Amino acid sequence: MESAVARTAARPRIALATYRPEEGTASADRDLPVLKGALDDAGARAEIVYWDDPAADWADFDLVVIRSTWDYSWRVAEFVAWAERVAKLTRLANPAAVVRWNTDKRYLGELAASGVPTVPTRYLAPGDPADLPDGHEYVVKPTSGAGARLAARYRPEERETALRHLARMHEKGLTAMVQPYLRGVDTAGERALQFFGGRFLHAARKGAVLAPGTAYDADKVPHPRLEVWQPAPAELAVAERALAAVPDGPDGDALLYARVDVVDGDDGQPCVMELELVEPNLFLRLHPESVPVVAEAIIRAAR
Ligand SMILES: Nc1ncnc2c1ncn2[C@@H]1O[C@H](COP(=O)(O)OP(=O)(O)OP(=O)(O)O)[C@@H](O)[C@H]1O
Ligand SMILES: [Mg+2]
C-alpha cells in the first residue's frame, strides 16, 4: 500500500473549500474551476469541496485552502468552529487562528492601535448608546459583513433611518461599525491589493458601492466597475504595514493569501478599509498571469 508520505511527495491532495450555491444557481466563484485546472496541471490533485459538506473527509487532504466560503458571514460561529476542527485534522490555509481573528472586523481597531492608517471606526455593540455622528455623512455596517450586506450611508438629517438600521442590527446581536463616509472612494475608488505566498500578487480597483439613499437591506453590487490596478508605492506600503500587524497564531504559520483594501482618507493618503484573510475573491479573470503563481504557492504550502 502506498504510504501517506509517498503519496504527498507524489501528488499533494488539495481541497478548495467553497460555498454551496443555491439550488439551480451557478457558483459566483468563476475562478474556482480555473484554479482547480491549474493545480491539477501543476501536479496536484485538487478537489472543490463545500465547506459545510458533512460527508467531506478533510483528513484525506494534505491542505485545505479556504477559497470562496462566501456564505459564512451569516453563520460566523459555525464557520470559525469548522476552521478549528479542520485545522486539527490537516493543514488549513489561512490558519484557524487567523480565521478567528479576521472574521470580526474589530481587528480594524487593533490595526489602528498598532499605528496602521485605517478608516476611523467606532464600534456600537448591542446595548451601547446610539451615538451617531452629527456634522458629516457616515457609514453604518456590521462587524461581520460581506458583499456590503447591512451597510448604508447616511447624512446627519437621516438620523431616524440610521437609528432603525442600528436597532435592526442590535436585535440580531450584531455589533455595528460607524465610520465617516470617505469621499475619496467616489473619485479614486477602492483598491484591492492581493498577496499570495508572502508576495504581492496583483491589484484591482473598484468603484463606490454605497449609493446615497440605498436601503441598508437592499442587495448591492459588490464590485462595480472592477479593473486592473497598478498600486502606488504608498498603497503597497500601507498594505504591508497592515499585514505586518496581523497577530501571529499559536503555530506561527505564515499567511498563504491576503487581500488589503485601501481607500483614500480625507488627507488624501491611503488607509485600510478592510483586511481580508478568510476568503478573498482573487479576481483571477482580471489577472490570468497570476493563475500559475497561485497554483505554485498552494502546492508549495501543501508539501
Ligand atoms: N467609510 C466608508 N466610506 C465610503 N465607502 C464605504 C465606507 N465603508 C464602506 N464603504 C463602501 O461599502 C463597501 C462595503 O464595505 P466593506 O468592504 O467594509 O464591507 P464588506 O461587507 O466586507 O464588503 P465586501 O465583502 O464586498 O468587501 C465598500 O467597498 C465601500 O464601497
Ligand atoms: Mg470590502
Domain count, the chain: 3
Query: Could you tell me if residue 80 is inside a domain?
Result: yes
Do 174 and 199 belong to one domain?
A: no
Predicted confidence pLDDT, tens digits, the chain (303 residues): 445 555 545 899 999 999 999 999 999 999 999 999 999 999 999 999 999 999 999 999 999 999 999 999 889 999 999 999 999 999 999 999 999 999 999 999 999 999 999 999 999 999 999 999 999 999 999 998 778 889 999 999 999 999 999 999 999 999 999 999 999 999 999 999 999 999 999 999 999 999 998 999 999 998 999 999 999 999 999 999 999 999 987 666 789 999 999 999 999 999 999 999 999 999 999 999 999 999 999 999 999
| Residue pointed to by grid coordinates 498571469 | 289
Q: For position 250, what pLDDT does the model report?
A: 67
Do 89 and 63 belong to one domain?
A: yes
Query: Could you tell me if residue 114 is inside a domain?
Result: no
Q: For position 146, what pLDDT does the model report?
A: 77
Do 152 and 95 belong to one domain?
A: no
Q: Which residues of 132-146 are buried (b: 16+ CB within 10 A; e: fewer)?
A: bbeeebbbbbbbbeb
CA distance 147 to 178: 17
Pocket of ligand 1 (CB under 6 A): 119, 139, 141, 145-149, 151, 179, 181-182, 185, 190, 208-210, 222, 273-274
Q: Tell me which residue range forms the domain holding 265.
A: 184-283
CA distance 40 to 190: 34
Q: Which residues hold their Cβ within 5 A of ligand 2, which is an ion?
A: 274
E runs forming strands in the chain: 13-18, 45-50, 63-68, 91-93, 122-124, 138-142, 152-154, 176-180, 190-196, 199-206, 227-228, 257-264, 270-276
Query: Could you tell me if residue 112 is inside a domain?
Result: no
246: amino acid identity, one letter: V
Distance from the CA of 302 to the center of ligand 1, in angstroms? 33
Q: For position 148, what pLDDT does the model report?
A: 83
Do 202 and 277 belong to one domain?
A: yes
- The residue among 71, 102, 133 that closes a domain is 102
Do 29 and 95 belong to one domain?
A: yes
Query: Could you tell me if residue 115 is inside a domain?
Result: no
